[in-house]
Amino acid sequence: MAGAGTKLRPHTYTQPKALIPLAGRTILSIIVDQLVEAGIREFVFVVGYLGEKIQHYVEQKYPDLTCHFVQQNSREGTGHAILLTREIVENDEILIVLGDTIVECDLLEVLHAPYSMLGLKKVDDPRNFGVAELDENGNITRVVEKPQIPKSNLALVGIYKIKETNLLFECLQTNITNKVKSHDEFQLTDALECMIENGVRFNGFKVNNWFDCGRKDTLLETNAILLKKYKLANNPVLPYENTIIIPPVSIGEGCNIKNSIIGPNVAVGDNTVVNYSIVKDSIIGSFSNLYEVVLKSSLIGSDANIRGLSQSLNIGDNTEIDLG
């Protein structure tokens, strides 16, 4: 998770993409919680831009896990990032998960499989992804990063179980030494192809759901889906004055909401104030203030202040006014 998250700016100028709120949690906590539930207790986090915030968050939220932090100072691709973990990983079996992708699959089945495994899902346009080609037995015969003419519609979704880690690191080192790049970066996909060419067997496993959190529109879609999945709703014990809550919503602690309509598909961070506003299909950060605004399909960061336009009208019969 060392990337700068440029597609989510301006939010990622001050907040790592992995810590952006999502369905009452963060992208990072959703990923880590899934892995912990599957029995994983040791993590290596490859961080870069604003990496100290990620380290502080992990150490505060997951004190019982064994966590290592590796700094990728120059963003040269996923292959370069993985190679930086070599001294920590040594020859241990690993599960690689990209920090902006949430997948739903049978992780226990993947972890106990006798072969290296790559997560796959059919997509309409595979040209923006790593792509896997399979033989008639379901074995992966080739992987290509963002091919212009794909021979398969099976995309690599950002989760990889690697048993032959020594060969993985050798392929990564060889590619970097020989400056083997795809799309101007050292790609993990190219190292996987090197492993296949050296006889490693990779099986594909289909993921049930795949949520890409790298852009605003997909992040809001993921927020709506996960709110429904987690069945989060406003806590009925809390009295929000003159306010209508339309589930599913997630409202953080210490919020002051009144004279408003919230929902559906809204996640509000802690200690946020909302007054005389309508908010739907949106994510609102913590310690923000919204007054007299109508928001839909919006992504609002923390410590933001938004104030709308108040009107005083004296309108007679048979009048049509568009306040636009």
For 83-104, the pLDDT digits (tens) are: 999 999 999 999 999 887 888 8
Q: Is 323 a residue whose pLDDT tops 70?
A: no
Question: Where do the H-state alpha helices sit in the chain?
Answer: 27-37, 51-61, 78-83, 86-89, 107-111, 165-177, 188-197, 216-230
Those residues whose C-beta lies under 8 Å from the C-beta of residue 74, and which sit 6 or more positions away, are 80
Those residues whose C-beta lies under 8 Å from the C-beta of residue 313, and which sit 6 or more positions away, are 321
Q: Is 38 a residue whose pLDDT tops 80?
A: yes
pTM: 0.83
Q: Is 214 a residue whose pLDDT tops 80?
A: no
Q: What is the mean pLDDT of the chain?
A: 85
Q: Is 168 a residue whose pLDDT tops 80?
A: yes
Architecture of the domain made up of 6-214: Alpha-Beta Complex (3.90)
3-state secondary structure of 86: helix
Residues of the chain within CATH 3.90.550.10 domain(s) are 6-214
Stretch 155-181: mean pLDDT: 91
Query: Cis omega (within 30 of 0) on the bond before 16?
Result: no
Residues of the chain within CATH 2.160.10.10 domain(s) are 241-322
CATH topology of domain 241-322: UDP N-Acetylglucosamine Acyltransferase; domain 1 (2.160.10)
Stretch 40-52: mean pLDDT: 90
